[in-house]
Amino acid sequence: MDKLRMLGGIPLKGEVVIAGAKNAALPILCACLLTDQSITLRNVPELQDVRTMLKLLQEIGVTVEYPDVNDRTHLILNAANIKSSEATYEMVKTMRASILVLGPLLTRMHSAKVSLPGGCAIGARPVDQHIKGLKAMGATIKIKSGYIQAETKPPLNRLLGASIVTDMITVTGTENLLMAATLASGTTVLENAAREPEVSDLAELLVKMGAKITGIGSDRLVIEGVESLHSAEHSVIPDRIEAGTFLCAVAAAGGEITLKHCRPDTLDAVIVKLKEAGLIVETGSDWIKATMQSRPKAVSFRTSEYPAFPTDMQAQLMAVNAIASGSASITETIFENRFMHVQELNRLGADIAIEGNTAIAQGVEKLSGAIVMATDLRASASLVIAGLAAQGETQVDRIYHLDRGYDRMEQKLTLLGANIQRVK
């Protein structure tokens, strides 16, 4: 199992190019299942989750081509010959986002069988809202032997437009129901829809494919179903979480970095907090320059749905708070168990206590390097940030979690002057 080893205390300096967003790329790859024509994608990040999704789509019968041998971010997908409508447990257990094939397969192929994702390190993460929404659209759904078995009803054998209000805001739930609704008979209204930029990016692609969607970017999506969708080209939006992670890295380790090919407008809540912590931030339409000349100041925050502070940035900003002056309270409102990094940050010398869904971080002057273990994707990123700020050597074990969602993070950090290596 790969590990990352780093020597902390070196300020970061230089430029880094931000990749396409994992959480936009995954639903967008699944959208190719909605048509028998080719979908051309650019800026697809080179990540383990993307490789897993492509493997799943290929098992279903999708062909994947790379028109430029030197560019793995440019793909052409074609789902003209679907041979199976199944996502197996083997696939779903390594990547929960596999659930995103359910809506597209059901609406185009009239049946789908997808393994129920289990709980994961950050929470139970049920998919009841996905199922409830598809049932409201007339699907027959049975849970059998750990699988969701979904079918459309004869004689029409099509999903039917419906008014759906989800009990809570769900990102992949909105995406699944949005994709399902594009080919349904009649109009679907999705209330309480997630407003994350990744949902909007998927919706933009669907519109290019011929879908009729209004309300993009709002919490009320209206989808008028069409008979079929067609080919389209799309470039995946830049990853706001990767960008935010590098901003936290410079806030913790000090220095001056410029992020290229990013979307500052999707990072407002994160930038506000980092400015409060002392980071000097300048932005253009697709770049961010960030300078940190002092020890960070502690900043309290609570996670919530977009446009509020994202749960996927909670662990990284907590690592900044670990070495800040003062104390901060960090409340996690989205996932019930997303504090696994606290124990490991404390092994590096942090002073963080958990009280229910709030962590109280009492900033310490210095962290000291140690061997720590990554427990989930963003927890891994927070340990790397802490390791870059710590004195001495830190080793982060089990970085397969990190590789799910970051494209060669250690290479990008090396370009910024960090002393970091992957150890096989």
Ligand X SMILES: CC(=O)N[C@H]1[C@@H](OP(=O)(O)OP(=O)(O)OC[C@H]2O[C@@H](n3ccc(=O)[nH]c3=O)[C@H](O)[C@@H]2O)O[C@H](CO)[C@@H](O)[C@@H]1O
Ligand Y SMILES: C=C(OP(=O)(O)O)C(=O)O
Question: Residue 12 gets which letter from DSSP?
Answer: E
Judge whether 334 is annotated as a binding position: yes
Judged by DSSP in three states, 208 sits in: helix
Closest CA to 317 of 352, 366, 291, 365: 352
Tell me if residue 120 is catalytic.
yes
Q: d(Cα 264, Cα 283) in Å, to the nearest integer?
A: 7
CA distances to 31, 43, 247, 273 from 288, in Å: 31, 19, 9, 15
Q: Would the annotation count 48 as a binding residue? A: no
Min dist. Cβ of residue 405 to ligand Y (A): 5
What residues are paired with 355 via a beta bridge? 358
Q: Does 353 bind ligand X (CB under 6 A)?
A: no
Q: What does 130 interact with, of ligand Y, ligand X, none (CB < 5 to 8 A by kind)?
A: ligand X
**Where is 378: in which H helix or E strand?**
helix 377-389
298 binds ligand X (CB under 6 A): no
Residue 171 found at the interface with ligand X (CB under 6 A)? yes
Distance separating alpha carbons of residues 106 and 134, to the nearest angstrom: 9
Task: Choose the one of ligand Y, ligand X, none that binds residue 258, judging by a C-beta under 5 to 8 angstroms depending on kind.
Answer: none
Report CA-CA distances (Å) from 1 to 53, 121, 262, 404, 408. 21, 19, 31, 14, 16
Residue 367 binding ligand X, by CB under 6 A: no
Say whether 22 counts as a known binding-site residue. yes
For residue 377, state whether it binds ligand Y (rule: CB under 6 A). yes
* 85 and 127 Cβ atoms separated by less than 8 Å: no
The nearest distance, CB 326 to ligand X, in angstroms, is 27
Q: Is residue 197 involved in binding ligand X (CB under 6 A)?
A: no
Q: What is the closest distance, in whole angstroms, from the C-beta atom of residue 131 to ligand X in the complex? A: 7
Q: Does residue 245 interact with ligand X by CB under 6 A?
A: no
The distance of closest approach from Cβ of residue 355 to ligand X in the complex, given in angstroms and rounded to an integer, is 19
Does residue 170 touch ligand X according to CB under 6 A?
Answer: yes
- Nearest to 59, CA basis, from 104, 91, 28, 102: 91
Query: Which one of 120, 143, 156, 168 is in contact with ligand X (CB under 6 A)?
Result: 168
Binding window for ligand X (CB under 6 A); candidates: 138-146, 168-176, 288-296, 350-358? 168-176
Structure token pair of residue 134: 């598809």
Segment near ligand X (CB under 6 A); pick from 57-65, 108-116, 123-131, 153-161? 123-131
CA distance 391 to 389: 7
Residue 119 sits in the site that holds ligand X (CB under 6 A): no
Asked if 415 contacts 12 with a C-beta cutoff of 8 angstroms, the reply is no
Cα separation, 5 vs 395, in Å, equals 4
By Cβ distance, which residue is nearest to ligand Y?
312
Question: Near ligand X by CB under 6 A, which window of 124-132, 285-293, 379-387, 391-399?
Answer: 124-132
Q: Which of 127, 104, 120, 24 is nearest to 57 (CA)?
A: 104
Asked if 378 touches ligand Y (CB under 6 A), the answer is: yes
Rounded least distance, CB 153 to ligand X, Å: 22
Q: Which two tokens stand for residue 20?
A: 């396409």
Q: Which of 3, 51, 96, 261 binds ligand Y (CB under 6 A)?
A: 96
Binds 302: which of ligand Y, ligand X, none (CB < 5-8 Å by kind): none
DSSP code string of 104-163: HHHHHHSEEEEEPP--BTTB----HHHHHHHHHTT-EEEEETTEEEEEPPTTTTS-B--E
Which of 39, 97, 232, 249 contacts ligand X by CB under 6 A? 97
Kindly state whether residue 334 participates in binding ligand X, applying the rule CB under 6 A: yes
Of 4, 8, 18, 23, the one binding ligand X by CB under 6 A: 23
Is there a contact between 174 and 199 (Cβ–Cβ < 8 Å)? yes
Binding mask 272-311 for ligand Y (x = CB under 6 A): ----------------------------------------
Stretch that binds ligand X, among 119-127, 185-193, 200-208, 396-404 (CB under 6 A): 119-127
Side by side, the strands of the sheet bearing 358-362 are 301-302, 327-331, 358-362, 351-355
| Residue 142 dihedral angles phi and psi, to the nearest 5° | -120, 145
Which of 30, 32, 120, 262 is labelled catalytic?
A: 120
**Partner interacting with residue 405 (select from ligand Y, ligand X, none; CB below 5-8 Å by kind):** ligand Y
How many residues are given for the chain? 424
Q: Which of residues 399-418 bind ligand Y (CB under 6 A)?
A: 405
Q: Which residues are catalytic?
A: 120
- Residues making contact with ligand Y (CB under 6 A): 23, 96-97, 312, 377-378, 405
Binding-site positions = 22-23, 96, 125-129, 312, 334
- Residues making contact with ligand X (CB under 6 A): 23, 26, 97, 123-130, 168, 170-173, 311-312, 334-335
